[in-house]
Amino acid sequence: AAKSRGKGTVARFEPSMRSEEIDRLELEDALRLAVRDEQITVHFQPVVDLRTGLIDGFEALARWTHPTLGHIGPDRFIPAAERTGLIRQLGRQILEQAHAGGRTLAARAGRPIALGVNLSPMQVTDETLAERVRELRDLDPEVPLVLELTEGMLLGHDLPTVAALTGLKQGGVRLAIDDFGIGYSSVGYLHRLPVDVLKIDKMFVAELHDPRSRALVAGVVAMAHAMDLSVIAEGVEDWPSATAVRDLGCDFAQGYLFSRPLPLAAAADLAAAGPFDLAPAGPFDLALS
């Protein structure tokens, strides 16, 4: 930072930078203890079948409330876990909790319930994770696991990653591309990887009033279906969006319209309840601009 200020300035102590660094170290220390004491829990958000209104599965989302620092979002602590290497242990805890939760959800729903689990890059090539995934799958075929990966992780599609993903698939799980469409916008990897599901990023869902965004989603859906992948729309917050993504051919939807991510007990009540009514009263067409 001192350099970029140019001639005539000198590097000096910067209170803001310093405190950022302290924040980071404090966060990492707190995280180490939280992982040690297994204080990070998972919440469950339903994924709804747009033909039937039935809950097809849930996504497990990590949650952390620290006694003094308060609620800390996964967008902060997952990167910290990746920096410190804590992600292996944490990822394992999350997988176990998610799977155990999935058993409860499937039991309450009275049918198989898919369970989406987000993976960090470091976890993909972790052989002990693959082993555990196989064990869980043998233990419980009623809880099909869907491992969610982001595009960035797959961009290089280097051999170890492809081999690891193929190994995971052979362990009986499905693979999803999360946040599809943002960031890299490369589809070249899709046909090389054993992927089953595309999750269209919420950014596109938020822009469906724009005809070009609708065209883009329609194109992604056509491509996905031609490749035998199913499509989940993320970030569906209202009925116009739900109607729009359904009309554009998305198979499933996830978002605050149906439910926020919930603690297990509340998610289980939702799983036990009937299907969502996908044709509620009123005209819900998007105001076409």
In three-state secondary structure terms, 123 is helix
List the one residue from 74, 112, 240, 249 that touches ligand C2E (CB under 6 A): 74
Q: Does 251 bind Mg ion (CB under 5 A)?
A: no
- Residues between 208 and 247 with contacts to Mg ion, criterion CB under 5 A: 234
DSSP string across 164-204:
HHHHHHHTT-EEEEEEETSS----TTGGGS---EEEE-HHH
List the one residue from 56, 148, 151, 251 that touches Mg ion (CB under 5 A): 148
| Two tokens, residue 172 | 């009986």
Q: Does 56 bind Mg ion (CB under 5 A)?
A: no
Question: How far is the C-alpha of 131 from the C-alpha of 136, rounded, in Å?
Answer: 9
In a 13 Å sphere around the CA of 199, the CA atoms on its Cβ side amount to 26
List the one residue from 179, 214, 232, 248 that touches ligand C2E (CB under 6 A): 179
List the one residue from 44, 102, 146, 178 that touches Mg ion (CB under 5 A): 178
Q: Does 151 bind Mg ion (CB under 5 A)?
A: no
Q: Does 240 bind ligand C2E (CB under 6 A)?
A: no
Nearer to ligand C2E, 1 or 58 (CB): 58
Q: Does 72 bind ligand C2E (CB under 6 A)?
A: no
DSSP string across 39-74:
--EEEEEEEEETTT--EEEEEEEEEEEETTTEEE-H
Q: Does 118 bind Mg ion (CB under 5 A)?
A: yes
Question: How far is the C-alpha of 96 from the C-alpha of 128, rounded, in Å?
Answer: 13
Nearer to ligand C2E, 122 or 193 (CB): 122
List the one residue from 56, 151, 179, 251 that touches Mg ion (CB under 5 A): 179
Nearer to Mg ion, 56 or 234 (CB): 234
Maximum Cα interatomic distance, the chain, rounded to a whole number of Å: 72
Note the residues at the interface with Mg ion (CB under 5 A).
Answer: 118, 148, 178-179, 234
